Amino acid sequence: MTADGRVDVRKTYKLYIGGTFPRSESARSYPVSTPKGRFLANAAQASRKDVRDAVRAARSAFAGWSGATAYNRGQVLYRIAEMAEGRRAQLVAEVADAEGVSARRAEAVVDAAIDRWVWYAGWTDKISQVFGSTNPVAGPYFNFSLPEPTGVVGVVAPQSSPLLGLVSVVAPVIATGNTCVVVAAQDRPLPAITLAEVLATSDLPGGVVNLLTGVTSELAPWLASHADVNGLDLTGAAADQATDLEIAAADSVKRVLRRPTTEPAWTDDPGTGRLSAFLEIKTVWHPMGV
């Protein structure tokens, strides 16, 4: 309640699947609190069925997104940064609550997350030049190696960095033309849902990013074993679960980005490693003079 007696309009936090905001199919929710135990909200607790729906949405969006021009993808990522800038105050408040940090520190985190969208937006039309090549061959042929997106990527988001870490793992996946299903930080999911609202109001097609909140140990195994998921980023997986998730992913021959042994410094220069993590290289031969 505000000082003048007005009752606040409380926000309902939902999942983000296929460009819409459904409640969990199971109708479950779970409480989210600050690191000091202050209650913040109830978040939707996704189920196995929600994972399947999210993968289906990501697969449906893949052809259109991967077929878009690199320049267009860059414009969309830049538009996400624009929309996040407009939500800056809300994101700052949620990061401060989620991470238990000062407003000044939260502002720095949000600004870094917005800048990261811009950084990856600038990479979209440079990926082919950096990761592709023209190869010398002995014969009257042209030989080209061209990067292509892997497909649908499952992402277990970092637990300790619910916004900057999340952007740092999602942006390179979609910058390279993949679509994704993301399991947000279990105990700090609120900045992720606000980011989903940013995505929904940008030019990003529905289904390119699908975001689930809930119990990571419950959702990640279904994502890892899903036969229509082509890649898996285990950055935010628990240490005691990562090996089992890799084994589950191997059943359908997924490309796996393993869980790092130490938490990445998300404020550092991200480099190009995550851009290449979910790219396939296709080599094409073409006769000269034809």
- Over the stretch 159-215, which tens digit does the pLDDT of each residue have? 999 999 999 999 999 999 999 999 999 999 999 999 999 999 999 999 999 999 999
The pLDDT-based confidence of 289 (bands split at 50, 70, 90) is: confident
Distance CA 167, CA 180 (A): 12
Percentage, residues of the chain above pLDDT 90: 87
pLDDT at site 40: 94
Percentage, residues of the chain above pLDDT 70: 99
Q: What is the mean pLDDT of residues 139-145?
A: 88
pLDDT at site 1: 53
- Which are the contacts of 262, defined by CB distance < 8 A and separation ≥ 6? none
Express each pLDDT in 73-95 by its tens digit: 999 999 999 999 999 999 999 99
Distance CA 205, CA 201 (A): 10
* Architecture, CATH, for domain 41-67+127-287: 3-Layer(aba) Sandwich (3.40)
Q: Do the Cβ atoms of 232 and 151 come closer than 8 Å?
A: no
- Cα–Cα distances in angstroms (integers) from residue 270 to residues 150, 252, 281, in the given order: 20, 29, 22
The pLDDT-based confidence of 134 (bands split at 50, 70, 90) is: confident
Q: What is the mean pLDDT of the chain?
A: 94
User: Position 47: which residue type?
Assistant: S
Helix (H) / strand (E) containing 146: strand 141-149
Closest CA to 28 of 9, 14, 11, 10: 14
Phi first, then psi: what are they for 238, rounded to 5°? -70, 150
Indicate the burial class of 184 (C-beta count within 10 angstroms; 0-12, 13-18, 19 or more). Answer: buried
Higher per-residue confidence, 133 vs 148: 148
The pLDDT-based confidence of 154 (bands split at 50, 70, 90) is: very high
pLDDT at site 2: 58
- Cα–Cα distances in angstroms (integers) from residue 144 to residues 15, 150, 241, in the given order: 42, 18, 40
